[in-house]
Structure formats: C-alpha cells, structure tokens
Amino acid sequence: KAGVTQTPRYLIKTRGQQVTLSCSPISGHRSVSWYQQTPGQGLQFLFEYFSETQRNKGNFPGRFSGRQFSNSRSEMNVSTLELGDSALYLCASRPGLAAGELFFGEGSRLTVL
Amino acid sequence: GDSVTQMEGPVTLSEEAFLTINCTYTATGYPSLFWYVQYPGESLQLLLKATKADDKGSNKGFEATYRKETTSFHLEKGSVQVSDSAVYFCALSAAGGTSYGKLTFGQGTILTVHP
C-alpha cells in the first residue's frame, strides 16, 4: 500500500508570493491533516479535512488555507508569503474521524527568501 | 489550551543503556496520548499510544504508561540500540468528538545512541 505522498518535496519562493502544496493520502483514508514544523515552534496543527469539509483549524492566520477533493486528495495554500513561513509542511492521513493512528508523509520543505 | 512538555534534549546514551524521556501534559478530560518517532531521513511514525488512564502502550521494546494523577506519559526502554537514534515526540489529542486528527506535540527530543 502506498504511503502518504506530498508534492513538491522542496521549493523556494520569495516574500509576497503564494504557494500550493499537495497531499495524496493512503488509499481508503478520508481524513487529511496538515502540520507546520519549524525549529522554533515545533510541530503545529494547521487544519484537518474530512469529506471535503474542514473539521478542525489551528491558530494560523487566514493566509493559510486548504481544501480537499472528492478523491480525498488535499491541497494547502499560503498566500502573501513571509520569511517566517519557511518550514517543513507535513500532511497526515487516517481512515476516518474516529481515534486512530495518523500516517505522515515526508513533507514539503518550503524556503521563503 | 492543551499543551505537551518534553524533557529538553538532546540525549546521548551508550548502547544497552536505560532510556527515559519525560513527557507531561495539560489538557481537560482524558486525552489520548502518543509517542511518535522520526528516524533520520524518514517521516514521523507512531511508536505507541494509550487512550485511557493507567493504559500502557508498548512497541519495539519501548513502553509508556498513561498517568492521570501526574499528567505524564514518560517513554522508557530498558536497553537502547544504535538503531533507536531518532527524534521522539510526545503528543496528545483532545478527548472525544472530532479532535483526533488534531495532535498537540511536544518539542521533540533528539536521541543519539553510540556503540
């Protein structure tokens, strides 16, 4: 079974630009969560999607947004990039909304110059 | 809000030494508790979990017991190996509802095991 796939793996942007990151969950998984990992703040929850609906949202500004498609694939978008948005963005999936293990992808490393 | 505090790292041990990584949490009710591990060059993966008080999670020789009275979930292993070198994260998900996909993580502890 293929794991969680995130694209692109690495990208470099400049301040003010926007970026879209993609996540394909494990086949059959319908819940997708996004996390930001930085050396200073550690791992922080961004949002979770299930059945194309946002179910939970972390404490991030409105520049961070996401969506989920009918095939459970998810994208997150960051607009008007700031230097502080440089981070590893991790996607995780799980079968449904009940308690269970989160399966993480390898992440998309964003550098903002 | 919910929070998780892990012992400051990094931790450096010799092979076969005893390992303890402390983790305490702040949360209302009875959250589920987890230890995730990130091996070099790999993604985060679940190491063990406990979903109610006094539960003991175990996997690959690692153990952690959910202590409600001390709000702790310390990770232990009796004899570490070089292959255990990784970053370890303690995490919780709030009790009930649709919160299980939202994990609150500790800062992570880097473990290095020397032969």
Instruction: Decide if pLDDT at A45 tops 70.
Output: yes
Taking a C-beta distance cutoff of 8 angstroms, is the pair A25, A72 a contact?
yes
Instruction: Decide if pLDDT at A98 tops 90.
Output: no
Contact A45 B44 (CB under 8 A): no
**Angle formed at CA A41 by CA B3 and CA B44, multiple of 5 degrees:** 80
Contact B101 A102 (CB under 8 A): yes
- For B25-60, write each residue's pLDDT tens digit: 999 888 999 999 999 989 999 999 999 999 999 999
How many Cβ atoms sit within 10 Å of the Cβ of residue B67? Answer: 15
Match 């949490």 to its residue by tokens: B25
Question: What is the predicted pLDDT for the residue at B9?
Answer: 80
Q: Tell me whether the omega of the peptide bond preceding residue B10 falls within 30 degrees of 0, making it cis.
A: yes
Give the nearest chain A residue to B107 (CA atoms).
A42
Pairwise CA distance, residues A25 & B54, whole Å: 33
Give the nearest chain B residue to A6 (CA atoms).
B43
- For B62-108, write each residue's pLDDT tens digit: 999 999 999 999 999 999 999 999 999 999 988 765 566 789 999 99
From chain B, pick out residues whose CB is under 8 angstroms from the CB of A92: 44, 101
How many Cβ atoms sit within 10 Å of the Cβ of residue A7? Answer: 11
* Residue A96 banded pLDDT, cuts 50, 70, 90: confident
What is the pairing mode between strands A31-38 and A10-13?
unpaired
Contact A43 B89 (CB under 8 A): yes
DSSP code, position B82: G
Question: What is the predicted pLDDT for the residue at B25?
Answer: 96
In the stretch 7-36 of chain A, residues with CB closer than 8 A to chain B read 31, 33, 35
